[in-house]
Amino acid sequence: MAAATPLLKDELDIVIPTIRNLDFLEMWRPFFEQYHLIIVQDGDPSKTIKVPEGFDYELYNRNDINKILGPKASCISFKDSACRCFGYMVSKKKYIFTIDDDCFVAKDPSGKEINALAQHIQNLLSPSTPAFFNTLYDPFRDGADFVRGYPFSLREGVPTAVSHGLWLNIPDYDAPTQLVKPLERNSRYVDAVLTIPKGTLFPMCGMNLGFNRDLIGPAMYFGLMGDGQPIGRYDDMWAGWCVKVICDHLGLGVKTGLPYIWHSKASNPFVNLKKEYKGIFWQEEIIPFFQAATLPKECTTVQQCYIELSKQVKEKLGKVDDYFVKLSDAMVTWIEAWDELNPGKDSAKLANGSAK
């Protein structure tokens, strides 16, 4: 008997950044096999990455990125998983799920394997409620609803742009926390999905993430990290801060919680500290910048919002370090490259026709 066609089979790409053979896909086979994969190979392009048989995929290495983007390839990080965002750019699908190659299938408390992708799709296909917090969390899940006192005028919610999943086993900690808690493992499975409220920033992790590319894709730029850059491990954070400010402006939602994956491997805390060192100081200026950032009502597309944000980054964060001047230029290059590869696709107009 043929396997049932999974949800969004022809509307979703799975993006995986890697430097190694993708044996981990074997365990994901029941959940991923019918979807199209975009593999972004980091590091040495002469190395051959082996992909298990039976998967439908395209693979891009650094040579391919340089060939496709030409001089604009400078905006894509090298020797850092931030290179994954090239996959977002070349995808032609409406939805993206991205996962790291050290993320395995997790089990729920009953011992059942979790289909992370199916849960992300569920999150993305139901509305978010950023304007008013529901104490029963996601009211669109089975067995939940809006609680007493929730305004009826807000119950329609808004389109969901991002679904942010979590991790069992190795938590996504920064280097100082890793160093003081080397043996800590996350075994807490919290059966909840919630909308991150409007005006609230969050630390976005890129290792188990789904998003609506049509709604927010051009803002999912993972910055300049890794080789030749003074900072690493802030790629997904940077994207998350930009995305949240733009989602709040355009009337879009971000959910976090389920699904869980099993994060199998702790990265070296000393290597991480070297990468994060400047970011740990800089984020004390970066966060207030994003908390205070506002976008003019004339910005009605993600691209317009992102270009405006890049100007503010240059003007305000450029004073913190020259790196932010370079980053703001790369943000503009990214949008130019995105528009070249996706002509005539202006992302999300304001969801309700007017800026909030």
Distances (CA, A) of 34 to 2, 25, 57, 148, 215: 11, 12, 11, 42, 24
**Contact (Cβ atoms closer than 8 angstroms) between residue 139 and residue 132:** no
- Please say whether the dihedral angle defined by the alpha carbons of residues 88, 89, 91 and 94, taken in this order, is positive or negative: positive
Pairwise CA distance, residues 172 & 168, whole Å: 10
Q: What pLDDT is attached to residue 4? A: 81
**Local mean pLDDT, 10-residue blocks, the chain (356 residues):** 82 98 98 98 98 98 98 98 98 98 98 98 98 97 97 98 98 97 97 98 98 98 97 98 98 98 95 97 98 98 98 98 98 98 77 46
Three-state secondary-structure class, residue 123: helix
Query: Helix or strand or coil: residue 256?
Result: strand
- Rounded to the nearest 10 degrees, the angle between the axes of helix 235-250 and helix 269-292 is 20
Domains of the chain plus CATH, in order, are 12-341 (3.90.550)
Backbone dihedral angles phi then psi of residue 210, each to the nearest 5 degrees: -120, 145
Q: Are 105 and 27 in contact, with CB atoms under 8 Å apart?
A: yes
What residues pair up with 95 in beta bridges, in sequence order? 12, 212
C-beta separation of 192 from 258 below 8 A:
yes
Beta bridge partners of 226: 78
| pTM score, whole prediction | 0.96
| Tokens 């007017």 -> residue | 354
